[in-house]
Amino acid sequence: MNEHDQIDTINKRTGRNMPQAVATGALLVAIILAALAIRIDVFVFLIVLFMTLGLWELRIDFATVGLHIPFVALAVCSGATMLVTYYAPWHFAAMSLGMMATIVLTLPASTARLSFGTRVPMAVARKLSASDADIRRESSFNQEKQAPKASRLANVGVTMFTVLYIEVLACYLIFPLTFGGHPVAHACMSVFLPALSDTGGLFFGAAFGRHKLSPRISPKKSYEGLAGSMLFAMAGAFAIFACTYDASRWATHWWVPIVAGVLVGVVGTYGDLCASMIKRDLGIKDMGHLLKGHGGVLDRVDSILMCAPAIALLLFATGL
């Protein structure tokens, strides 16, 4: 078997273009490390940027089935809430108030169908043309059966979901930066542990995957992959702790990396399955197309978002 055939085999087993995925992943890691090296504020604004791109992807994804979310209102309110979470003196209180304000302001906006220009219809058309026919047929919004119709109440529902999925979870990426005195370590745990977990699940699943975790939702997920996810996340947590805390902290908190690894492995895999379920229900393969080899921004950060509250609460509860 030549090198090209080997790469094709790996791509089929992992379900993605691995050379592109590795290159894109390396670029994202470089961008995040550069932001952390410059200043933690740059990392905060980077999170806001990525979440805004994620909101745009959801706007297009929902539009393919006739659902509407107010992108501008959500982007402004979510961005403001993330920044207030970091810069306000009372971080958690500011985060909570920002979330409530977002709900109050965006839910009424979700009932108004305002459209300017052709950017959204063109993006939706490209999305539909690139969709797999079999995936579309399995969608709850089967285009062959009827034209997509959505009530205002449905638009309110998906807007509420978007607030919870993007803003609330993203704020928990920022919250650990505000306590403990180790913002860089906390940022690395929030971002890189789920990424390492994904990597471990990918390699263990491709090499040893025999027992399917949820074949209906995500055929490539396996229990062996889940074990790899936990091991990789655990190893990453030990490495970050070794570079951050002194011997006295290790003596009393040696168990935290173990708990972190298990939590990230389980919750991250659950986040991947939730994202797969949403995509299957909408009848789309990827959330977007911005990241080569990874699909969209949300395809890359779904497990990061889902793990954010677990990591933040673990660090806060243990006094780290």
pLDDT confidence of residue 234: 94
DSSP secondary structure of 220-289: EEEHHHHHHHHHHHHHHHHHHHHHH--HHHHHHHTTHHHHHHHHHHHHHHHHHHHHHHHHHHHT-S-S-S
Domain boundaries, the chain: 3-317
Task: Tell me the C-alpha distance between 121 and 125, whole Å.
Answer: 6
Q: For every one of its 320 residues, what pLDDT tens digit does the chain have, with 9 covering 90 and above?
A: 554 555 455 445 545 555 666 676 678 888 999 999 999 999 999 999 999 998 988 888 888 888 888 999 999 999 999 999 999 989 999 999 999 999 999 988 887 765 555 556 666 666 556 555 555 555 555 555 454 555 778 888 899 999 999 999 999 999 999 998 899 999 999 999 998 998 888 888 777 767 787 777 777 778 888 888 999 999 999 999 999 988 888 888 999 999 999 999 999 888 888 888 888 777 777 776 665 545 578 877 888 999 999 999 999 999 88
Whether the model clears a pTM of 0.75, i.e. scores above it, the answer is yes
Contact 309, 315 (CB under 8 A): no
Q: How far is CA 300 from CA 69, 146, 182, 259, 285, in A?
A: 21, 32, 25, 23, 13
pLDDT of residue 75: 94
User: For residue 61, what are the CA distances in angstroms to 52, 134, 231, 282?
Assistant: 14, 17, 33, 7
Token pair for 120: 């959204």
> What pLDDT is recorded for position 283?
76
Q: First CA to last CA across the chain, in angstroms? A: 50
CB–CB of 230/204 below 8 Å? Answer: no
Place of tokens 């009932």: 111
Structure confidence at residue 299 (pLDDT): 76
> Smallest Cα–Cα separation from 173: which of 302, 39, 1?
302
